[in-house]
Amino acid sequence: MVKVRNPIIRGFNPDPSIIRVGKDFYIATSTFEWFPGVQIHHSKNLADWRLIKRPLNRKSQLDMLGVPDSCGVWAPCLSHYEDTFYLIYSNVKSFDGIWKDTPNYLVTTQDISDEWSDPIFIDSSGFDGSLFHDDDGRKWYSSMITDQRKGKFFGGIILQEYDHSQRKLVGEKYRIFEGTEIGATEAPHIYKRNGYYYLMTAEGGTEYGHAISLARSRKIIGPYELHPDNPILSARNHPNASLQKCGHGDLVETAEGDWYSVFLTGRPLSKQGRCTLGRETAIAPMIWEDDNWLYHKEGSNPPLLEIEISDLISDEGSLENLERDHFDTAKLNSHFQSLRIPITDEWASLSSRKGFLRLYGRESLNSLHNQCLIARRVQSFHIEASTCLEFSPISFQNIAGLVCYYNTAHWYYLNVFGDEDGTSKYLQIIASDNFEMNDILAEPVNISNQSKIYLKVVFKKAEIQFYYGINENDWNPIGPTLDGSKLSDDYVREGSNRYRPAFTGAFVGICCQDLSGQGCHADFDWWDYNEKND
């Protein structure tokens, strides 16, 4: 037996959907407004995971221009049948008010690492769609259904047959599960074992009341009876557990017949406090007992920070390479993503200046449309990220630099900007807290004589500290220590008297704005991201 430490996929990687194909395991996770859509990680041993694909990499598959924060791609469901991989996903367009616009799509491929098809529209009844392949060859689509009547919202779980030859849902729509007293029933997955259909759902909302519920039926359309010890996995009544927010799970069986659940989790900085790393993916061993019900193998309901997996093989090469990125390759590092739109040479070019990433300034950090920003997840409680910037702004509307970002309303930005007539340039820090902008420095730092400037951030749990230098080996702190816990789902929801989507996590990256619309550019020589011990 070998010990495996949770989470297995760290930093903003929620809503895991897992499959095994032969000796290979794959997990798909949600990406929300970040493009390309859906992260697929691969492992040989359930412990070491490597990002291998973001399948929704074309606008024809994923058009998110203008979608609100924390909308876009929700809860992908990955499945495999015969020689084909299937991926169901939502592209949520709006979530304010009583109506929710949640179109759902299906894409397929025969090679998970290759290009995926253009999407087939499924429906817009709800979100968290899932595809089950029955052993008679029929396919069934399930999802939660949104219900706007009397503020209900969560309307239970629906089921309908999907005809792959007709590329559409067919036949009667069944409402198969109303949920339990925990409430907020979503994220259905169906499994079949020993003559039973098992329906796994997430309940309790994706915060500290989150849970995994299980029901079963002899018929796929129900009726479903509830597990006697429901929920089967949760930390909702265990505020001191290391892993919190546990829910939205999926099951996988190994080739040796062992069962595991993967599920989203959060690691708060304090007891049921803020989770700066967002919702992550963890794993727990499960066991089928003689009553044909599934149980948490550890015997205690809250998942553990460390579990044991038998016959664990090494999977060298799965861990991330954290060497400096010199921007001297044909493609960007796979960990970079953009907001809502594809990364193209039009605004992020590796060829305009050899050995540099040239960013052409676009809209502001508040924009839901055409930002010029590339960033990566913060995946450890202690990280350092740095870059070297060459930038010649010609007006105060030209801005470029290093950003710590949660959404369009919440970020910290160490940046270079120009003056009124473009004769001087300065270094400043801007903080955005629910769209309230503040200049952190009493006076900007004049760097007019510097052709290049070095920028760095140290993110350590709840603390963010920026640095700058005129050479790489001479870092000077700039500004006070900032509250990094504000870049979290929990903070964004605090103090709100309405439901506010907040489902992502902290990112760190580089960006450029030209608020005049003339496309002034900034050149970044290199990028460093390094994780320290948590």
Q: Say what the pLDDT of residue 498 is.
A: 46
Instruction: Tell whether 333 is covered by a domain.
Output: no
Are 267 and 415 contained in the same domain?
A: no
Mean pLDDT score, 416-444: 94
pLDDT tens-digit map of 470-491: 999 899 999 999 999 999 999 9
Mean pLDDT score, 484-513: 87
Q: Assign 320 a pLDDT band (cuts: 50, 70, 90).
A: low
Instruction: Tell whether 320 is covered by a domain.
Output: no
Smallest Cα–Cα separation from 373: which of 331, 415, 337, 418?
337
Q: Assign 111 a pLDDT band (cuts: 50, 70, 90).
A: very high
Are 23 and 102 contained in the same domain?
A: yes
Instruction: Tell whether 326 is covered by a domain.
Output: no
- The residues annotated with a catalytic role in the active site are 15, 186
- 94-103, 114-123, 168-177, 310-319, range with the lowest pLDDT: 310-319
Average pLDDT, the chain: 95
Are 173 and 243 contained in the same domain?
A: yes
Domain count, the chain: 2
Q: Which residue has the tokens 């079963």?
A: 216
Q: Say what the pLDDT of residue 152 is.
A: 87
pLDDT above 60 (res 103): yes
Are 296 and 342 contained in the same domain?
A: no
DSSP structural state of residue 191? E
Are 116 and 14 contained in the same domain?
A: yes
Are 84 and 11 contained in the same domain?
A: yes
Q: Say what the pLDDT of residue 32 is.
A: 98
CATH number at residue 368: 2.60.120.200
Mean pLDDT score, 310-332: 74
pLDDT tens-digit map of 188-219: 999 999 999 999 999 999 999 999 999 999 99
Selected residue with higher pLDDT from 506 and 323: 506
Mean pLDDT score, 138-161: 94
Are 96 and 190 contained in the same domain?
A: yes
Instruction: Tell whether 513 is covered by a domain.
Output: yes
Instruction: Tell whether 477 is covered by a domain.
Output: yes
**Runs of H (alpha helix) within 406-505:** 489-493
Are 343 and 292 contained in the same domain?
A: no
Are 77 and 216 contained in the same domain?
A: yes
Q: Say what the pLDDT of residue 311 is.
A: 66
Selected residue with higher pLDDT from 260 and 495: 260
The residues near 145 (Cβ < 8 Å, ≥ 6 apart) are 125, 126, 155, 156, 157, 158, 175
Q: How many residues belong to the chain?
A: 534
- 71-75, 213-217, 307-311, range with the lowest pLDDT: 307-311
Q: Distance (Å, rounded) from C-alpha 339 to C-alpha 73? A: 12
CATH number at residue 64: 2.115.10.20
Smallest Cα–Cα separation from 232: which of 308, 278, 298, 305?
298
The pTM for the full model equals 0.96
Q: Say what the pLDDT of residue 497 is.
A: 43
The residues near 319 (Cβ < 8 Å, ≥ 6 apart) are 48, 50
Instruction: Tell whether 318 is covered by a domain.
Output: no
pLDDT above 50 (res 144): yes
Mean pLDDT score, 354-359: 97
Instruction: Tell whether 82 is covered by a domain.
Output: yes
Work out the widest C-alpha separation in the chain, in whole angstroms: 78
Are 158 and 256 contained in the same domain?
A: yes
| Single residue among 269, 292, 309 that ends a domain in this structure | 309
Q: Assign 534 a pLDDT band (cuts: 50, 70, 90).
A: low
**Within 10 A of 438 (CB to CB), how many other CB atoms are there?**
9
Instruction: Tell whether 403 is covered by a domain.
Output: yes
| Single residue among 253, 288, 309 that ends a domain in this structure | 309
Are 42 and 106 contained in the same domain?
A: yes
Domain residues for 236?
2-309
Q: Say what the pLDDT of residue 318 is.
A: 47
Burial class (CB in 10 A: 0-12, 13-18, 19+), 416: buried
pLDDT above 70 (res 312): no
The full DSSP string for 243-266 is: SEEEEEEEEEE-TTS-EEEEEEEE
**Phi (first) and psi of residue 132, to 5 degrees:** -115, 130
Are 245 and 361 contained in the same domain?
A: no
pLDDT above 60 (res 58): yes
Mean pLDDT score, 373-381: 98
